[in-house]
Structures are given as structure tokens and as C-alpha cells.
């Protein structure tokens, strides 16, 4: 069974066992506009919680994607490198950025669940 969490920086992480799949939220892709470029971390890279992990660029801006947890990158989604517009279409599903093997499950503490994240976003609009 997977668990879904969100950050204040508009990343999501879906955790299954000790693997977390990370992407940006629908709110983030709407704020960015048309995504034209994605840079992903290299396999095996060690990420710190809250550390820079990837880059997403749109016609309006470039933004860092931060890792919600610490760990090692075990997979990247090359599809969004070739088709960055998928981030606008499937931000919280097929357009995930990378998968990380969690180094410490306690990193999930302090992340938001969906209702808390929705409340957070409502306060921004």
C-alpha cells in the first residue's frame, strides 16, 4: 500500500516500502505554465532532504525540484526529458521525476497529506 505526501515547495512523494516516487504537484505545473525542459538527477546520486534534485523550466520560469526525503536515486523518468509537456498533462501521475530509496523513514514526518496540502494551497490563492 502506498502513502502520498506533499511539501511546501509543491513536490509530492508516493512511498511504497522504502522507495519514494517524486514529482511536482498540479498546482506547481499550473503556476509554471508550459513546461519546455526537465533535468533529472543521475542514478545513484545521494540526495539530502530538501536538497536540490532536478530542474523544471517553462516558458515563464525555471524552478528547482527538491527531494522531500534523503536517499539514493534508483530511477528517473526519461519520458519527461523527451516530452516535458507531459508534466503539464500528468503532473501527479505519469510525469513523475525520480525514485529514491529512503535513507530514513523519519524524513516523512512533517510532510503534508492531501487534505493538509489542499488547505495549504487554498491559503495561497
- Domains along the sequence of the chain with CATH: 3-104+113-118 (2.40.50.100)
**Are residues 95 and 87 in contact, defined by beta-carbon separation less than 8 angstroms?**
yes
CB within 8 A of 84, min separation 6: which ones? 35, 36, 37, 38, 56, 57
Give bridge partners of residue 35 from the DSSP assignment.
58
pTM for this entry: 0.95
- Binned at pLDDT 50, 70 and 90, residue 2 comes out as confident
- Torsion sign, CA atoms 94, 55, 10, 67: positive
Per-residue pLDDT tens digits for 5-58: 999 999 999 999 999 999 999 999 999 999 999 999 999 999 999 999 999 999
3-state helix, strand, coil in the chain (%, to 5): 25, 40, 40
Phi, psi of 69 (to 5 degrees): -140, 165
Say whether pLDDT at 1 is over 90. no
Per-residue pLDDT tens digits for 55-114: 999 998 899 999 999 999 999 999 999 999 999 999 999 999 999 999 999 999 999 999
The count of other CB atoms within 10 Å of the CB of residue 31 is 15
Amino acid at each position: 500500500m502506498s502513502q502520498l505526501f506533499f511539501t511546501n515547495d509543491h513536490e509530492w512523494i508516493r512511498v511504497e516500502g522504502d522507495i519514494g516516487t517524486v514529482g511536482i504537484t498540479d498546482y506547481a505545473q499550473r503556476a509554471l505554465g508550459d513546461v519546455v525542459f526537465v533535468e533529472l538527477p543521475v542514478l545513484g546520486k545521494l540526495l539530502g532532504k530538501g536538497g536540490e534534485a532536478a530542474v523544471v523550466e517553462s516558458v515563464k520560469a525555471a524552478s528547482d525540484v527538491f527531494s522531500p526525503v534523503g536517499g539514493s536515486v534508483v530511477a528517473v523518468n526519461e519520458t519527461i526529458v523527451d516530452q516535458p509537456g507531459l508534466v503539464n498533462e500528468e503532473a501527479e501521475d505519469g510525469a513523475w521525476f525520480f525514485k529514491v530509496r529512503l535513507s530514513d523513514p523519519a524524513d516523512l514526518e512533517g510532510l503534508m497529506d492531501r487534505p493538509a496540502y489542499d488547505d495549504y494551497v487554498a491559503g495561497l490563492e
